[in-house]
Copies of this chain bind each other. A is one copy, B any other.
Amino acid sequence: MAGLTHALHMSQSSLEDNNPAARGTKRRQESRRRLLEVARRMFVERGYHATRPQDITKAAGLGHGTFYLHFKDKQDCFMAFIEQAQAEIDAAIIDRAASAKSLPEMVEAVLVSIYDYAENHPGVLMAAMNAETVVPADKLGGGTLLQRWGEKWGELLKTQAKQGLVAKDFDFVIIGQAIVGAIHQASSFSFERGRSRASLVKALTQFIVRALTPRK
């Protein structure tokens, strides 16, 4: 499963800046942290359009203008949130998937980690996935979160195919997308309908494994 570990290392730029001058003082960093924390909560709970910079700063206990000390504008703040969230999500899923030993195990590991993340950070996953409905898409690093996941799945499956664990006659680029699409839609549905996580994991694993496993 090592294939998953060459994770995405993108868009960390605004998360940490090694230039000591730009990194800012402790106070500055603390303000930014609080703003981003509040912004995250509000973007998730109310959505982008219903969240005003004023609301964010007020809830963070700061003045209106402070917002623009840390973010170019509202959109910039949203993107900082999205990048943070996507990095976090990627990390959470990769950590678990990396330890998987077989195809079923991997599918399960990914599903479980997604489910865990979604439970522990309600709404964040969905916000991250719908980021491109708010920001002109090309401003986000390399397409949708789902698309990037799909690409990783594709690469991963290609590797697995070489080892004979997955049928070789697939268009892995498309199949990668198909799988993450299946996971996404089935998961949102299950989650929303309050269905048991176990049944979801079982059904999806079964579906994906059957599709991919090579036949004699």
**Which residues on A are within 8 Å of B, measured CB to CB?**
47, 49, 130, 133, 143, 146-147, 150, 167, 169-171, 173-175, 177-186, 189-190, 192, 195, 199-200, 202-204, 206-208, 210-212
Contact = CB atoms under 8 A, between A and B. Distances in A.
Nearest to A210: B211
A171 B210 contact: no
B189 A185 contact: no
Contact of A184 (B173, B185, B199): B185
Given A182-B182, A211-B211, 6 more contacts: A146-B185, A147-B185, A170-B203, A173-B195, A179-B182, A180-B185
A118 to B, nearest CB: 15
Nearest to A199: B171
Interface of A is mostly: helix
A170 B199 CA distance: 10
A173 B204 CA distance: 11
B203 A174 contact: yes
A146 B180 CA distance: 15
A177 B185 contact: yes
Contact of A171 (B133, B169, B175, B202): B202
A133 B210 CA distance: 34
A179 to B, nearest CB: 7
Contacts of A130: 130, 133
A173 to B, nearest CB: 8
Most B CB within 10 A of own CB, among A130, A181, A208, A211: A181
Contacts of A211: 207-208, 210-211
A174 B133 CA distance: 26
Contacts of A181: 181-186
